[in-house]
């Protein structure tokens, strides 16, 4: 199902298909979409064929407990109440794209509409990146083109395949494309810049610079390099805080943007020294469950 892009014409044909799918997806009620995602959740329950296949695929890239925790959380996150709550948090109300309602000021009526076709240029640092990109697009009823990272593990394609299998009437098939091409193919990049109603770019400076807002027809959202930070203030439960920090530090082996790399501690009552001691102890303990993978010279 992954499409290897070899020419600008092939890319334009992909966008034409996605525009057809976008029209059907925009008309899909929220309950219809959530029903499909609920069936997808069943396919990702611990012990399922997809869960086991992904665990094998990702072994060696991340520790087994990291993979198990992430996949278990993935299955839970696809439940309708969780997705409704997330939509309400992001959009103000879960049914924003389904019906007109009075706005919060009572002076007008409001409803949201999809943009159309959203391109997501993915990074390869954590394997759930493609899932997040798919969720962002589909929950807002936008068709989506995923450009895989050269470091993609294969998980994004596997997850998308199970999504289409859970799509009982094939409505999503023309609304999702998983594509791969070299970032050096600027003619393909240019089609993306010309055709995308929005482009979301995840990754480093090279990825960000390939899609500047002034060269793209649609809206551009950059999720560039990030530095995860933490804060510890006086009065916290130090033992619990250190355990939680150690978990966040170790879970993605410092490869996620959310991985804390810098910690600010309030300078009072020897708190910095106490935090350092407690965090050191917690990091040693967490490695029993999340052992570090062997590092390469580049790491």
Instruction: Provide, for the chain, the percentages of residues in helix, strand and coil under a 3-state DSSP scheme, each rounded to the nearest 5.
Output: 45, 15, 40
Q: What are phi and psi of 118, to 5 degrees?
A: -105, 130
Cβ atoms of residues 71 and 44 within 8 Å: yes
What pLDDT was estimated at residue 253?
Answer: 82
Range of the domain at 66: 3-99+111-223
CA 272, distance to chain mean position in Å, is: 34
- Total domain count, the chain: 2
104 lies in some domain:
no
Structure tokens at 101: 């309602």
* Threshold 0.85, pTM exceeds: yes
DSSP label of 46: T
What pLDDT was estimated at residue 299?
Answer: 58
Q: Which residues of the chain have pLDDT under 70?
A: 294-299
249 lies in some domain:
yes
Sequence-distant (6+) residues with CB within 8 A of 209 are none
- The predicted-structure confidence for 199-237, as pLDDT tens digits, reads as follows 999 988 899 999 999 999 999 999 988 888 999 999 999
Q: Specify whether 14 is located in the same domain as 147.
A: yes
- The predicted-structure confidence for 252-267, as pLDDT tens digits, reads as follows 888 888 889 899 999 9
Helix (H, G, I), strand (E, B) or coil at 256: coil
Q: Specify whether 203 is located in the same domain as 233.
A: no
Q: Specify whether 13 is located in the same domain as 69.
A: yes
What pLDDT was estimated at residue 255?
Answer: 82
Q: Specify whether 122 is located in the same domain as 205.
A: yes
Q: Specify whether 26 is located in the same domain as 131.
A: yes
Q: Specify whether 152 is located in the same domain as 174.
A: yes
Crossing angle (nearest 10°) for helices 80-91 and 129-139: 70
Sequence-distant (6+) residues with CB within 8 A of 281 are 242
Q: Which of 223, 244, 267 is the last residue of a domain?
A: 223
How far are the Cα atoms of 130, 140, 254, 260 from residue 249, in angstroms, in the given order?
22, 32, 6, 6
């Amino acid at each position: 199902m992954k499409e290897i892009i070899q020419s600008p014409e092939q890319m334009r044909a992909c966008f034409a298909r996605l525009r057809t799918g976008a029209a059907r997806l925009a008309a899909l009620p929220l309950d219809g979409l959530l029903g499909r995602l609920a069936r997808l959740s069943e396919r990702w329950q611990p012990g399922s064929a997809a869960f086991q296949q992904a665990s094998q695929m990702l072994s060696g890239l991340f520790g087994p407990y990291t993979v198990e925790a992430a996949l278990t959380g993935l299955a839970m996150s696809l439940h309708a109440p969780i997705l409704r709550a997330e939509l309400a948090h992001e959009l103000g109300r879960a049914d924003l794209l389904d019906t007109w309602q009075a706005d919060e000021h009572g002076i007008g009526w409001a409803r949201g509409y999809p943009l159309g076709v959203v391109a997501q240029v993915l990074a390869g640092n954590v394997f759930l990146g493609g899932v997040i990109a798919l969720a962002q697009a589909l929950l807002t009823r936008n068709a989506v083109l995923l450009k895989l990272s050269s470091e993609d593990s294969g998980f994004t394609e596997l997850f998308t395949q199970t999504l289409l299998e859970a799509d009982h009437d094939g409505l999503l098939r023309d609304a999702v494309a998983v594509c791969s091409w070299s970032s050096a193919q600027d003619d393909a990049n240019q089609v993306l810049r010309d055709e995308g109603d929005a482009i979301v770019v995840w990754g480093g400076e090279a990825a960000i610079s390939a899609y500047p807002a002034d060269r793209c027809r649609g809206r551009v959202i950059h999720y560039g390099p990030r530095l995860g930070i933490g804060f510890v203030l006086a009065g916290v439960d130090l033992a619990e805080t250190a355990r939680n920090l150690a978990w966040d530090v170790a879970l993605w082996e410092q490869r996620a943007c959310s991985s804390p790399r810098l910690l600010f501690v309030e300078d009072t009552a020897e708190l910095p020294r106490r935090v350092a001691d407690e965090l050191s102890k917690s990091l040693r303990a967490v490695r029993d469950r999340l052992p570090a993978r062997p590092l390469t010279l580049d790491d």
